[in-house]
């Protein structure tokens, strides 16, 4: 039998509370790993990715022979690292003759492999090789824009999957309030062909335009590279259904008989019950009652005593 020991130290309890599942996850952490063999270009790419996500990332420099996520049985070591570090994103670099400068970006759910995207790196340009003012370098706490240029991100399945993974990888922590001064960079992703994407990071410069609205210029700050999409694996249906499950507290109550129109906006239907006019008895305030009162008044004017209604004895 497996012995379950309850922690007693406050430090261990706090650490377990951090790793416990939360209703709203505000940020995802990234694990950067090396495969069996890596090249100089790939080492530089992994270092740049770690530098961009150094607040929510950890990098292991030791080579790992058992990390083969697309092969059966090669996911065990990755799931072990995910369980050990409690990180939900990983970037794995490997180099071989068949797949040179190979980069695998994946996501995990409940410490199981959720989905995978494999890309090859070409025409890499580091941040140091780009000429720009040092004050334009991305700083800690800034939030990026994303620009996906090309119809392939909406029609090609591989590029749609790559778009989702890149958004999860570089968007950082999810916040509700944001200072506009923190929006100082943009990630540009442009489809070159059906399976090739140009990726670069640019800094946003605000120039004088003579009006209240400043003129925006982009300065390339790196890193920039070409992604050659090779393999990808969509999440399993059972795991995807489990991951997409939402809490009952976060779901809104469905409005009945309400629809939304792009022109008229919110449109509602009101159902009025049957009034049943024929079967409903008329009230006492009818025209005949008024006529009786007029006749009684005329008799009083003529001197004739009006007939009084006798009170009914309820006893």
Indicate if the pLDDT at residue 305 is higher than 60.
no
Per-residue pLDDT band for 47 (boundaries 50, 70, 90) equals very high
DSSP 289: H
Strand pairing report for 102-109 and 112-125: antiparallel
Which is more confidently placed, 253 or 296?
Answer: 296
Task: Answer whether residue 102 shows pLDDT above 90.
Answer: yes
Average pLDDT, stretch 2-22?
Answer: 79
pLDDT confidence bin for 116, thresholds 50/70/90 = very high
pLDDT band at 225 (very low <50, low <70, confident <90, very high): very high
Per-residue model confidence (pLDDT) at position 107: 92
Pick from 107-116, 143-152, 286-295: least confident: 286-295
Of residues 17 and 182, the one with the higher pLDDT is: 17
Q: Please answer whether residues 45 and 226 qualify as being in contact, where contact means their C-beta atoms are separated by less than 8 angstroms.
A: no
Angle at Cα 55 formed by Cα 144 and Cα 199, nearest 5°? 40
226, 193 contact by CB (below 8 A): no
Residue 308 binned pLDDT confidence (cut-offs 50, 70, 90):
low
DSSP character at residue 110 = T
d(CA 147, CA 52): 18
Q: Show the tokens assigned to 43.
A: 């080492």
* 21-25, 169-173, 195-199, 248-252: range with highest mean pLDDT: 195-199
Domains of the chain: 26-174+181-233 (3.40.50.10480)
In the chain, what are the helix, strand and coil shares in percent, each to the nearest 5? 25, 30, 45
Q: Are residues 140 and 55 in contact, defined by beta-carbon separation less than 8 angstroms?
A: yes
Mean pLDDT across 265-274 = 82
pLDDT in tens, 205-221: 888 888 888 888 888 88
Strand, helix or coil at 124?
strand
Q: What confidence score (pLDDT) does residue 6 get?
A: 82
Nearby residues of 62 by Cβ (< 8 Å), 6 or more positions away: 34
C-beta separation of 120 from 228 below 8 A: yes
pLDDT in tens, 174-198: 777 777 777 788 999 999 888 899 9
Render pLDDT for 227-264 as a digit per residue (tens, 0 to 9): 999 999 998 888 888 888 776 655 567 778 888 887 77
CA-based R_g, the chain, Å: 35
Give dist(CA 85, CA 108) in Å, integer: 12
Residue with tokens 């009083």: 300
- CA 170, distance to chain mean position in Å, is 13
SS3 assignment, position 163:
helix
Going through 69-195 in order, the beta strands assigned E by DSSP cover 89-94, 102-109, 112-125, 144-149, 185-193
Of 72-86, 94-108, 176-190, 267-281, the range with the highest mean pLDDT is 94-108
């Amino acid at each position: 039998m497996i012995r379950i020991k309850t922690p007693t130290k406050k430090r261990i309890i706090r650490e377990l509370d951090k790793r416990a599942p939360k209703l709203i996850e505000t940020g995802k952490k990234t694990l950067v790993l090396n495969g069996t063999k890596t090249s100089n270009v790939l080492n530089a790419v992994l270092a740049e990715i770690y530098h961009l996500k150094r607040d929510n990332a950890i990098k292991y420099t030791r080579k790992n022979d058992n990390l083969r996520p697309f092969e059966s049985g090669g996911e065990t070591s990755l799931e072990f690292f995910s369980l050990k570090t409690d990180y939900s994103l990983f970037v794995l670099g490997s180099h071989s003759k068949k797949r040179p400068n190979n980069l695998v970006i994946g996501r995990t759910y409940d410490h199981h492999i959720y989905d995978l995207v494999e890309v090859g790196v070409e025409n890499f340009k580091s941040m140091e090789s780009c000429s720009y003012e040092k004050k334009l370098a991305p700083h800690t706490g800034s939030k990026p824009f994303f620009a996906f240029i090309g119809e392939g991100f909406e029609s090609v399945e591989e590029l749609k999957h790559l778009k989702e993974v890149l958004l999860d990888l570089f968007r950082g922590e999810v916040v509700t309030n944001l200072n506009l001064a923190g929006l100082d960079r943009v990630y540009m992703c442009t489809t070159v062909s059906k399976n090739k994407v140009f990726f670069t990071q640019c800094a946003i410069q605000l120039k004088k335009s003579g009006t209240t609205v400043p003129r925006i210029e982009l300065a390339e700050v790196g890193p920039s590279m070409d992604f050659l999409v090779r393999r990808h694996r969509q999440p399993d249906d059972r795991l995807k259904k489990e991951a997409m499950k939402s809490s009952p507290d976060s779901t809104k109550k469905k409005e009945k008989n309400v629809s939304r129109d792009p022109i008229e906006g919110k449109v509602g239907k009101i159902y009025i019950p049957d009034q049943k006019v024929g079967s409903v008895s008329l009230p006492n305030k009818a025209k005949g009652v008024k006529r009786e009162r007029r006749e009684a008044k005329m008799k009083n004017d003529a001197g004739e005593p009006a007939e009084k209604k006798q009170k009914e004895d309820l006893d």
